[in-house]
Amino acid sequence: MSTFQNPLLEAKGITKYFGTITALENVDLKVHAGECLGVVGDNGAGKSTLMKVLSGLYKPSSGSLYFQGKEEILESPKDSQNLGLEMVYQDLALAGNLPIGENIFLGREPTKNIGFLKFLDFNKIKELTNAHLGKLKINVKSADQKVEELSGGQRQAVAIARSTAFNAKVVIMDEPTAALAIKEVGKVLDLINSLKKTGVGVIVISHRMDDIFSVCDRVMALFQGTNFAESELSNTSRDEVIGWIMGKK
């Protein structure tokens, strides 16, 4: 939609070594507001490493990150969260023993002061959770339900709700439909489309061409830790993108 605008998030020349292994070499990436970027690549192409660099979980060996045009150095996931950069992990990163609401606000729980002590504000957690789930049209029995009692699709929805509960500007999703039943995939893709409409920049890592071609505006391929190809979605085809994944142009 707004390709002539400045990108919301831009990574330039990201390189990451693990000992002698080069996981990423000189990788560039950018995403605009309201845009969905699809990142494809074979296993070991460096997709997950790149996402972990963007979320502050890994520090890049070299290269720089720009958020809204300003260079940022991410020391931890907390730093990226503070910028409005949220991650939805493939293993969902939810604590099954905690209720939905407490998972959504995990690490950022609202509190109330009683005297000099800070207590969790459970009413507020519930209130905010219901409002937020309602906004995203996510149906669950109750915000007090434990996450381990939910289906895969519901868990994915909670993970996405979690990532957007704090005015996220960019949401990065690692294989958002990989663990889902077919009927639940559509719901998650709808959720991604509605995020885009609210002006959030979305990065989707996926193996599934169906996902890429139903929600993304642009697609980039990584091959052996480097930028391999990139295109507007309208200018490419499934076969071509599949070719990129295998290293053929």
Partner 1 sequence: MEEKDIKKESIYLKLMPYIEKYGILLLLVLMILVMHILQPDVFLSWRNVTNVFKQISWQSMLALGVFMVIVTAGIDLSVGSIMMLSLMVLAIVAKAGAPWFIVVITPLIAGFLCGLFNGAGITLLRMPHPFIMTLGTLYIFRGTGNLISGGTPISGFTDEVRYLGHGRIDLTWLGLEKSQYLPVSLVLIAVVYVIFWFFLNHSRTGKWIYAIGGNPSAARASGINVNKILIIVYSLCGFLSGIGALILAGRTDSGYPNAGLQSELDAIAACIIGGASFFGGRGTVLGVFAGVMIMGILRNGLNLMDVSSFWQQVLIGSIIVIAVYIDVLRRDLGTRK
Binding residues for partner 1, per CB under 8 A? 55, 57, 76-78, 81, 87, 89, 91-98, 102-103, 106-109, 111, 117-120, 146, 148-151
**Identity of the residue, 147 or 229, whose beta carbon is nearer to partner 1 in the bound complex:** 147
Query: For residues 136 and 191, is the Cβ–Cβ distance under 8 A?
Result: yes
Question: How many helices (H) does the chain have, and how many strands (E)?
Answer: 8, 12
Instruction: For the CB of residue 151, give the shortest distance to partner 1 in the complex, in Å.
Output: 7
Q: Taking the complex as a whole, how short is the minimal distance between the CB of residue 18 and partner 1, in angstroms?
A: 17
* Phi, psi dihedral angles at 225 (to 5 degrees): 80, 10
Residue 9: count of CB within 10 angstroms of its CB: 25
**Shortest Å, Cβ 155 to partner 1:** 10
Measured from the CB atom, is 93 or 128 closer to partner 1? 93
Cβ 161 vs Cβ 138: under 8 Å = yes
Sort strands 117-120 and 170-174 into parallel, antiparallel or unpaired. Answer: unpaired
- Which residue's CB is nearer to partner 1, number 91 or number 239? 91
Q: Dihedral of CA 176/5/236/54: which sign?
A: negative
Minimum CB separation of residue 129 from partner 1 in Å reads 14
For the bound state, the minimum distance from the C-beta of residue 114 to partner 1, rounded and expressed in Å, comes to 9
Closest approach of Cβ 171 to partner 1, in Å? 14
**Least separation in angstroms between CB 159 and partner 1:** 9
Give 81 or 206: the residue with its C-beta nearer to partner 1.
81
| Tokens at 44, concatenated | 């070991």
Q: In this complex, which beta carbon is closest to partner 1, that of residue 17 or of residue 119?
A: 119
Torsional class of 175: left (φ above 0), alpha (ψ -120 to 50), beta (otherwise): left
Name the residue among 142, 153, 143 with its Cα closest to residue 189.
153
Judged by CB, which is closer to partner 1: 103, or 236? Answer: 103
- For partner 1, the closer of residues 117 and 182 by Cβ is 117
Edge-to-edge strands, sheet with 170-174: 85-88, 170-174, 201-205, 36-40, 218-223, 226-232
d(C-alpha 153, C-alpha 177), whole Å: 8
